[in-house]
A = this chain, B = another copy of it.
C-alpha cells in the first residue's frame, strides 16, 4: 500500500473502457487500484464505448484528457486483442500519463502532444500475481496505473518501446478555397462533430482557422468572416458559421464551432443526426469566402 504525504494533491486515475456497467469488471479494476493506492481519486470518463470500438474511445479521449492535472493517469481499456500479441504500454506526456493496450487507442495523444515517451509493460512485479489471459485491465493495467499514480517512474514500470501503433485517421483535403473533411463523431444530442478542427472565434465576426491535420505541419493560420462561408454536406448547404444553437429557430440547422474547436453541425433543440441524416463518415466541405 502506497502512502501519500499530507497535503500533496491527491493522485488521480481516470477510467475509459468499453466494459459497460452491468458486469462488475470496472468495479474489480477500482478495487485493485484502491488496494494499492488508497488515497487515489478514481474518475469515470466513460464505460459506454461501443464494444471493442478503439476509434470511438480514442475520439472521446482526445477531447477530455487535457482538462486534467498533468499528474493524472488515464487508464484506457478497449482491448479486443487481450492476451494476444499486442503490447500493454504506458505513455508519459507533459499533459498526463496513459496506460493502455498498444492498439492505436492512444493515437490522439501522439498527435496532440509535443513530446511523449512510451514503455512496454514487461515487469510482472507491478502486476497482480498470476494474471489471467482474458482480463489484463484488472490484472496488469490497473495495478500499473495505481503504481504510476503513486509516483513510480515510467522507467521502473517497463522497458523502452520504440514503436507504437497508430490508427488511420480520416484526413483533411485542402482544396483551393475549400477544406474537405468528414463527420467523426455524433454526440448524445445528435450533434455532428467533424475533423475540420482548430477553428476559433477571434471576435464576434471573424474566425481563425489553422488548416492542419495530423500529417500536416502547422503552416500558419487564416482568418475569414464567419457569415461569408458555406458548409455543405449531402444535399444541404448552410450559410455562415454562428456562435450559438439559438442563432436559428427551434428545429433549424446551424453550423458552429464545437467545444473542441471543430466544425459542428447541429439542429437547435433537435438532433442533426435525425433531421439531416448525418452519421460518422459523411463528407463535409467548408467553402471559404464564398
- Distance in angstroms from A187 CB to nearest chain B CB is 5
B67–A246 CB distance below 8 A: no
A39-B10, A134-B259 given as contacts; is B83 within 8 A of A246 (CB)? yes
Q: Which of A57-65, A149-157, A162-170 is near enough to bind chain B?
A: A57-65
A134-B264, A188-B22 given as contacts; is B43 within 8 A of A27 (CB)? yes
B269–A138 CB distance below 8 A: no
**What are the residues of chain B within 8 A of A7 when measuring CB–CB?**
3, 6
User: What are 28 A-B contacts with C-beta separation under 8 Å?
Assistant: A1-B9, A6-B7, A10-B38, A14-B27, A19-B188, A20-B48, A21-B47, A22-B187, A22-B188, A24-B60, A24-B63, A28-B67, A29-B67, A31-B67, A34-B41, A35-B68, A52-B189, A80-B245, A82-B245, A83-B246, A84-B245, A85-B246, A132-B257, A132-B259, A133-B201, A133-B244, A135-B259, A138-B259
Q: Mark A220-263, 1 if CB is under 8 A from B, else 0.
A: 00000000000000000000000111100000000011110000
User: Taking chain A's interface residues, is the majority helix, strand, or loop, or is none over half, making it mixed?
Assistant: loop
**What are the residues of chain B within 8 A of A23 when measuring CB–CB?**
46, 60, 185, 187-188
Assembly of this chain: how many copies? Answer: 3
A24-B60, A34-B12, A243-B83 given as contacts; is B133 within 8 A of A256 (CB)? yes
Contact of A282 with B by CB under 8 A:
no
- Distance in angstroms from A201 CB to nearest chain B CB is 8
A51–B134 CB distance below 8 A: no
A80–B138 CB distance below 8 A: no
Number of interface residues of A (CB under 8 A): 77
Contact of A205 with B by CB under 8 A:
no
| C-alpha spacing A188/B20, complex, angstroms | 7
Find the B residue at minimum CB distance from A138: B259
